[in-house]
Amino acid sequence: MDIAMIIGILLALAVLSLLGYELWQDLREYLDDYWVDKLRRSAPVHLNLKNIRKIQNSIKGKDAFSFAVIGDTQKSFASFQKILQNQSADKFDFMVHVGDFTSSGRYTQYMNMVRFLDETAIPVVCGIGNHDISNRGPECFVHFFGPLNFYFDINSFRFIFINNTKKEFVPDIHELPGADHQYKPQRGMEAEQIDNLEPLLQGNQQHFIFIHTPPDFSTFKHHSFTRNSERFINLMKQHAAKISGVFSGHIHGHSELVSDGVTYIVSGGAGKKLHASREGITNKFNYVLVKVESGSVSHQVVFFD
């Protein structure tokens, strides 16, 4: 067999592999659309609502409770399981997942997460991440978990979840030439979301804020949201005395900073792959344990292998 024939065979195999991959992708898209369309015709599950009721009922009347914050499991249940096993030692009452529990927002990935949560004894409240909004992920999230933006109260504490994962083009009219890099889509919050958030901070409660992508601080560079980030940070600053923590994921590791009296915590190290360590970012698997006792809040990061 000469070299030309070998090259021809290899090229043919490459073409067949590419065609096979394209057909497989088309089949996945078809099946995903089929199941999501079928899902929309069935009764919503609303796991978040069910778990919030469990949490509120179990903590009602108590002046002390605790919860664990995790993020970015991305289909990996091994780390998730390790954290649940630590519950016997840490004694947390519930968990908050700040998003990216799927890798690409597929129906089957949502179903795997739902089945996993059905087998856990600890209630878990989930926010949505940028991987979870891929494909038809938002429709799956709304069906299985409920609204993308929501809040609930436990005693004098308010837990607020804001979806800041969607990329949008800033609606400016750019002069060309000269708008270099300004036309790129930016991940972030809508102005309406911040307008709706502000009244929720007006009461006497202390507030825990949960978002997936952290705000635009230099420590979080390349993994932060930029659209309306400054407005969000200013709003947190205005209500700093009533903000008990802003929690996010997206960065696969752990980080923490304090700005204008507000503590920003990243806990995105509960999945398979960690991001590289750099200044301000620790690349270790982790979750954050938050304790509330007699109105006082404390937290600690828990690293694990």
- Residue 149 burial (10 A CB sphere; 0-12, 13-18, 19+): middle
- Going through 139-272 in order, the beta strands assigned E by DSSP cover 150-154, 157-161, 167-168, 186-187, 206-210, 243-248, 254-259, 262-267
* pLDDT surpassing 80 at residue 1: no
- Span 35-66, pLDDT tens digits: 888 888 888 999 999 999 999 999 988 889 99
pLDDT (tens digit per residue) in 145-191: 999 999 999 999 999 999 999 888 777 777 787 766 667 788 999 99
* More confident call, 10 vs 220: 220
The yes-or-no verdict on residue 29 having pLDDT over 80 is no
Top CATH class of 45-303 equals alpha beta
**87-133 residue pLDDT tens:** 878 899 999 999 999 999 999 999 999 999 999 999 999 999 999 99
Q: What share of the chain has pLDDT > 90, as a percent?
A: 67
pLDDT score at 40 = 81
pLDDT at 26: 54
Q: For residues 198 and 219, give the distance between their C-alpha atoms in angstroms, rounded to a whole number.
A: 25
Q: Where are the domains of the chain?
A: 1-42, 45-303
Asked whether the predicted pLDDT for residue 194 surpasses 90, the reply is: yes
CA distances from 20 to 9, 103, 108 (A): 16, 22, 21
Tell me whether strands 286-293 and 243-248 are parallel, antiparallel or unpaired: unpaired
Average pLDDT over residues 197-216: 96
Structure tokens that stand for 198 in this block: 């502000």
Q: Which of 135, 60, 34, 66 is nearest to 287 (CA)?
A: 66
Burial state string for 210-237 with b = 16 or more CB within 10 A and e = fewer than 16: bbbbbbbeebbeebbbebbbebbbebbe
Q: Which residue has 């690409």 as its token pair?
A: 104
